[in-house]
C-alpha cells in the first residue's frame, strides 16, 4: 500500500512541476522595475483558470500524501 501511495506522490510531484511551468508569467520581472504603466492582459482566461484549479488540486494531493507518508500512518 505504501508503494502505491509513493508512486502517486511522485507522479503528482512531476505533474505539479509541469503545471507550474505551464502558467503564464504574472509580472514583468526585473524589467518591470523601470517600466511604468499596467499590463494589457489583467484578466485570467478560462484556460488559465482551469490550470489554476488543477494546480491547486495537485498541490493538495501532493502535500497530503507527503504528510501521510512521512507520518507513517499507513502500514
Question: Within a domain: residue 57?
Answer: yes
- Quick one: pLDDT at residue 47? 84
Alpha-carbon distance 62 to 26, whole Å?
Answer: 24
Question: Within a domain: residue 22?
Answer: no
User: pLDDT-based confidence at 23, cuts 50/70/90?
Assistant: confident
pLDDT digits (tens, 9 = 90+) for 43-65: 568 888 899 999 999 999 999 99
User: pLDDT-based confidence at 39, cuts 50/70/90?
Assistant: low
Is pLDDT of 32 > 80?
Answer: no
Query: With contact defined as beta carbons under 8 Å apart, do 68 and 19 qualify?
Result: no
Containing structural domain, residue 59: 1-7+53-70
Count of domains for the chain: 1
Percent of the chain with pLDDT over 90: 59
Question: Within a domain: residue 34?
Answer: no
Question: Within a domain: residue 64?
Answer: yes
Q: What is the torsional sign of CA 71, 15, 53, 28?
A: positive
Amino acid at each position: 500500500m505504501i508503494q502505491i501511495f509513493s508512486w502517486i506522490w511522485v507522479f503528482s510531484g512531476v505533474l505539479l512541476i509541469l503545471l507550474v511551468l505551464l502558467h503564464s508569467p504574472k509580472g514583468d520581472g526585473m524589467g518591470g522595475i523601470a517600466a511604468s504603466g499596467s499590463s494589457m492582459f489583467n484578466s485570467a482566461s478560462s484556460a488559465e483558470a482551469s490550470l489554476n484549479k488543477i494546480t491547486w488540486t495537485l498541490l493538495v494531493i501532493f502535500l497530503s500524501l507527503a504528510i501521510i507518508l512521512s507520518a507513517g500512518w499507513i502500514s
